[in-house]
Amino acid sequence: MKRPSILVLGAGYGGLTTVVNLQKEFGTDAADITLINKNEYHYESTWLHEAAAGTMLPEDVRYDISDVIDSGKTNFVQATVEAIDVDNKKVTTDNGEFTYDYLVIGLGFEGETFGIEGLDKYALSIANVKAARYIREHIEFQFATWSTEQVKDDSRLTIVVGGAGFTGIEFLGELANRVPELCKEFDVPQEKVRVICVEAAPMVLPGFDPELVDYAVGYLQSKGIEFSIGTPVVEATPEGVKVKKGEDEFEFIKAGTVVWAAGVRGNRLIEETSIESMRARVKVEKDMRAPGYSDVFIVGDCALMINEEINRPYPPTAQIAMQQGERIAKNIKALAGEGTTEEFVPDLKGTVCSLGEEDAIGVVFGKKVTGRRAAFMKKMIDNRALYMIGGAGLVMKKGKLKVW
């Protein structure tokens, strides 16, 4: 077997799981594995809403990549990928050029603004750990400014969340707990604060179980969160957002903070390659390879797979990204040994959506769960993801081990 050179781009859930499994598949000295990532750390994207609201410190969301990879088997390079030339098998970064026999692209997601005017410029997005820290600090700045300014502008204390998908709802759950803390810290009367979620579809969490959705909305409303449903955001300005309320009816919501959580796309670099994509997501072959490129695999949110049972794409989730990483490692091992690849088949265990630290809703193995039980399950899911990448040591170091 020729010693293959394998290049993995991105140390998110998909990229890191691929690397950890490549290390297992190939053992020592059987492959040259290189992992490239922008930062020297991995961040848990699934915890970013906590860092953004300020209920978790940004540093607690991340861990060093060197803690979870075997430096004897994988060469980690901290670099930002600038271009991917799949026709000439070359990747350009700000830290040199790289070639490969097999390439795995796992550069993750970006917030999707659908071309809506002003959103790119004036709204904040929970896109990565630095962006999450910025949102936290922006909200604190607004509260601090309000409490010191002579002529008070109450709209500083209004937070608009665009989108009531899973990210929007999880972020609202954290804000519901964070706002009372902020009010205490910055001497702000809580009745001055408004948190408004604006959703385009006729329901919160479109497509999710209606009974669980009612539970979530009731819970969040009881904590002071307002909902504007069936009312798409059509524009953002430095002062707030314009919302469409009817055929020719619009409302302007003045807000000091606008967080856009209304959907994701793949990494823009994908669109600059010659691989075909839709919103920077590649409709992959059944074995996770890019169409037309037998040496390029796509993992995680840059990959698009159709669930043939319902003829709709699988949602981009960490759960699926990690399972894809395992399959891709096996498929590369098979190709390197001149074997054949196997189809990736997702094994969906369910979905749990947190509503702050102590509440949640979910469907797990087909059963509905709510309340503390669901919140406990969410923590266990988070800990399992740590375990799959870094074993028990990582769970002890970064895990959510506090249970009320």
Residues that bind ligand NAD (CB under 6 A): 116, 162-168, 170, 198-201, 206, 232-233, 261-264, 315-317, 351-353
Nearer to ligand NAD, 8 or 164 (CB): 164
Cβ neighbours of residue 121 closer than 8 Å, sequence gap 6 or more: 236
Nearer to ligand FAD, 173 or 240 (CB): 173
Residue 11 touches ligand FAD, criterion: CB under 6 A: yes
97 is catalytic: no
Residue with tokens 């193995």: 365
With beta carbons less than 8 A apart as the criterion, state whether 140 and 134 touch.
no
In angstroms, the Cα distances linking 150 to 139, 153, 236, 255, 257 are: 19, 9, 27, 19, 20
With beta carbons less than 8 A apart as the criterion, state whether 111 and 306 touch.
no
Residue 324 touches ligand FAD, criterion: CB under 6 A: no
- Min CB(252)–ligand NAD separation in Å: 14
Chain positions 18 to 77 lying near ligand FAD, rule: CB under 6 A, are 36-39, 42, 45-46, 48-49
- Could you say which of 103, 253, 304, 318 contacts ligand FAD (CB under 6 A)? 318
* 274, interface contact from ligand NAD, ligand FAD, none, CB < 5-8 Å by kind: none
* 390, interface contact from ligand FAD, ligand NAD, none, CB < 5-8 Å by kind: none
* 165, interface contact from ligand NAD, ligand FAD, none, CB < 5-8 Å by kind: ligand NAD
List beta partners, residue 93: 81, 96
* 106, interface contact from ligand FAD, ligand NAD, none, CB < 5-8 Å by kind: ligand FAD
* Binding-site string for ligand FAD from residue 195 to residue 214, where x marks contact by CB under 6 A and - marks none: --------------------
Cβ neighbours of residue 66 closer than 8 Å, sequence gap 6 or more: 40, 76
100-116: string of b/e by CB count within 10 Å (b at 16+)?
bbbbbbbbbbbbbbeeb
User: Which one of the listed residues 25, 110, 170, 199 is annotated catalytic?
Assistant: 170
Chain positions 150 to 169 lying near ligand FAD, rule: CB under 6 A, are 167
Tell me the C-alpha distance between 153 and 260, whole Å. Answer: 22
With beta carbons less than 8 A apart as the criterion, state whether 50 and 141 touch.
no
Nearer to ligand NAD, 166 or 297 (CB): 166
Tell me the C-alpha distance between 226 and 197, whole Å. Answer: 6
Token digits of residue 173: 């759950």
Nearer to ligand NAD, 6 or 197 (CB): 197
- Could you say which of 142, 158, 319, 341 contacts ligand FAD (CB under 6 A)? 319
List phi, psi (to 5°) of 2.
-65, 140
- Min CB(109)–ligand NAD separation in Å: 7
* 162, interface contact from ligand FAD, ligand NAD, none, CB < 5-8 Å by kind: ligand NAD
* 53, interface contact from ligand NAD, ligand FAD, none, CB < 5-8 Å by kind: none
Residue 62 three-state SS: strand
Q: Which residue is nearest to ligand NAD (CB)?
A: 165
List phi, psi (to 5°) of 351.
-140, 130
- Min CB(160)–ligand NAD separation in Å: 10
Nearer to ligand NAD, 37 or 228 (CB): 228
Q: In one letter, which amino acid is 338?
A: E
Tell me the C-alpha distance between 28 and 23, whole Å. Answer: 8
Tell me the C-alpha distance between 35 and 16, whole Å. Answer: 8
- Min CB(143)–ligand FAD separation in Å: 22
Indicate which residues carry an active-site annotation: 170
